Amino acid sequence: GAVVSQHPSRVICKSGTSVKIECRSLDFQATTMFWYRQFPKKSLMLMATSNEGSKATYEQGVEKDKFLINHASLTLSTLTVTSAHPEDSSFYICMTTEAFFGQGTRLTVV
């Protein structure tokens, strides 16, 4: 149980464009999803908590307008990196309340 499918696994985009990352819960209803960011050889830092049907809760220092989170259904949460810049290049990963993770997305902004 608690299988989460995240995609894309890798994406390369140009500076100034937006990228959407999806996390789908395959065998359960996820009312809450957590989004983490991980820099190379660093730990996972919580960016925001996604709640179905309501606004996401962002951690201190995370730009709400840059990292748009949508949780419109019980099986899908999305993270959109808007107007991406090279410093947004990172590994992004979602996690359920049961502490199971998606496969992660490696974002490279060129």
Q: Which residues bind another protein (CB under 8 A)?
A: 32, 34, 38, 42-46, 49, 91, 93, 95, 97, 99-101, 103-104, 106
Asked if 51 and 74 touch (Cβ cutoff 8 Å), the reply is no
- How many CB atoms lie under 10 A from the CB of residue 92? 23
- Closest contact distance (angstroms) between CB of 103 and another protein is 6
Nearer to another protein, 81 or 104 (CB): 104
What is the number of residues in the chain?
Answer: 110
Task: Provide the minimum distance between the beta carbon of 25 and another protein in the complex, in angstroms, as a whole number.
Answer: 14
Which CB sits closer to another protein, 2 or 82? 2
Question: Would you call 69 helix, strand, or coil by DSSP?
Answer: strand
Residues 87, 102, 68, 51, CA torsion sign: negative
Nearer to another protein, 82 or 100 (CB): 100
Which residues pair with residue 31 across a beta bridge?
none
Nearest distance from C-beta of residue 101 to another protein, angstroms: 4
